[in-house]
């Protein structure tokens, strides 16, 4: 069995075959997957019946596991998954579907907004790996937007206008869109961080748009003007020509590069269980070091 990566027809994403993620993988296979990520930014692995430990072990081939604190509202005794895994499903710690007004469910509704995972952290995430253990029968697709292509489709004037802009990202902004009410303690935890709007990928050197529902202001701009402009950019970047929509089959594992894509989940029947478990590769660098930010 040898690894192969093919572009999914009509999409920027790739599909990986010839690898079994229940087993440790070799250095050559890890390098082939990294190269595939640099090219496609989203990779799909079908039929991977992995355990949590196998998911963690595979994830560690690409860096350090990001820890959950600072990125959710579940209390310790309410968590279903350990702190180095993120829960993207709709189940509580007793494997029961969340009540409609459960605060954890309402917080998770933020996943319906286009975002990049952990863009609200000072050092944002590198990769996310999402394993579909129980998938929705209808809906519940994960859609990905290619932010390299979105950047490259801008004209020269737009590119030079945004080149040096720096945005502030926070869970307060994405949850504010949904009128989700945070506690004072959460407000302190979710303090905004700064991210370049146009980062350069550390491996490929390609520029992209670093947008996210977590982005709520632009340094040096009046807030309403920044919000309106970020909405314009969001609309541009999520046109169908930049989007791959993943329809889940049980035991798919989908891996994406948060540095150059956005994603969101589509609506699904939340009275049925959906068990989706994410591991995240922590990033290694801030986005604002690449060039000194210049206030507009």
The residues binding Fe ion (CB under 5 A) are 117
For the CB of residue 263, give the shortest distance to Fe ion in the complex, in Å: 6
Dihedral Cα 22, 27, 32, 38, nearest 10 deg: 100
Q: Which token pair is 190? A: 């979710």
For the CB of residue 151, give the shortest distance to Fe ion in the complex, in Å: 20
Using the minimum distance from each CB to Fe ion, give the nearer residue, 66 or 117: 117
**Sheet of strand 4-7, all strands in order from the earlier edge strand to the far edge:** 4-7, 14-17, 42-45, 253-257, 127-134, 275-280, 86-87
Using the minimum distance from each CB to Fe ion, give the nearer residue, 117 or 275: 117
Using alpha carbons, list the distances in angstroms from residue 215 to 86, 192, 211, 260.
21, 9, 7, 15
Using the minimum distance from each CB to Fe ion, give the nearer residue, 189 or 280: 280
Do residues 106 and 202 touch, judged by C-beta distance below 8 A?
no
Do residues 237 and 215 touch, judged by C-beta distance below 8 A?
no
Establish how many alpha carbons lie within 13 A of residue 29's alpha carbon, considering only the half-sphere containing its beta carbon.
17
Using the minimum distance from each CB to Fe ion, give the nearer residue, 175 or 293: 175
Do residues 206 and 200 touch, judged by C-beta distance below 8 A?
yes
Q: Which residues pair with 145 in a beta bridge?
A: 243, 262
Q: Which token pair is 58? A: 């595979």
Work out the number of other CB atoms within 10 angstroms of the CB of residue 239. Answer: 12
For the CB of residue 115, give the shortest distance to Fe ion in the complex, in Å: 6
Using the minimum distance from each CB to Fe ion, give the nearer residue, 87 or 117: 117
Establish how many alpha carbons lie within 13 A of residue 134's alpha carbon, considering only the half-sphere containing its beta carbon.
14
Closest CA to 196 of 222, 224, 219: 219
Do residues 90 and 248 touch, judged by C-beta distance below 8 A?
no
Using the minimum distance from each CB to Fe ion, give the nearer residue, 48 or 261: 261
For the CB of residue 251, give the shortest distance to Fe ion in the complex, in Å: 19
Residue given tokens 């541009």 in the structure block:
236
For the CB of residue 12, give the shortest distance to Fe ion in the complex, in Å: 18
For the CB of residue 163, give the shortest distance to Fe ion in the complex, in Å: 27
Rounded to whole angstroms, the Cα distance separating 25 from 15 reads 17
Using the minimum distance from each CB to Fe ion, give the nearer residue, 12 or 127: 127
Using the minimum distance from each CB to Fe ion, give the nearer residue, 189 or 261: 261
* Nearest residue to Fe ion on Cβ basis: 117
For the CB of residue 179, give the shortest distance to Fe ion in the complex, in Å: 20
């Amino acid at each position: 069995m040898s690894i192969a990566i093919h572009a999914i027809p009509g999409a920027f994403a790739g599909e990986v075959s010839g690898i079994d993620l229940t087993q440790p993988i070799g250095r050559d296979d890890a390098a082939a997957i990294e190269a595939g990520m640099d090219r496609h930014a989203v990779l799909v692995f079908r039929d991977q019946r992995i355990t949590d430990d196998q998911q963690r072990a595979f994830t560690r081939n690409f860096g350090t596991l990001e820890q959950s604190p600072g990125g959710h509202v579940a209390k310790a005794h309410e968590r279903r998954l350990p702190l180095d895994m993120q829960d993207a499903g709709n189940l509580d710690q007793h494997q029961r579907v969340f009540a409609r007004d459960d605060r954890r469910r309402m917080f998770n509704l933020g996943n319906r907004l286009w975002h990049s995972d952990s863009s609200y952290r000072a050092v944002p995430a590198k990769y996310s790996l999402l394993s579909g253990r129980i998938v929705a029968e209808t809906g519940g697709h994960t859609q990905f937007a290619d932010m390299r292509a979105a950047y490259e489709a801008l004209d020269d004037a737009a590119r030079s206008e945004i080149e040096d802009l720096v945005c502030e990202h926070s869970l307060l902004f994405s949850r504010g869109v949904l009128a989700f009410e945070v506690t004072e303690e959460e407000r302190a935890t979710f303090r905004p961080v700064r991210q370049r709007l146009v980062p350069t990928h550390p491996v490929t050197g390609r520029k992209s748009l670093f947008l996210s529902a977590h982005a709520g202001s632009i340094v040096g701009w009046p807030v309403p003007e920044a919000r309106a402009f970020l909405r314009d950019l969001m609309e541009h970047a999520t046109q169908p020509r930049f989007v791959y929509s993943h329809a889940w089959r049980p035991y798919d594992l989908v891996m994406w590069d948060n540095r150059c894509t956005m994603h969101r989940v589509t609506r699904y029947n939340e009275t049925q269980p959906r068990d989706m478990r994410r591991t995240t590769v922590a990033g290694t660098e801030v986005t604002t070091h690449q060039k000194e930010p210049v206030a507009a």
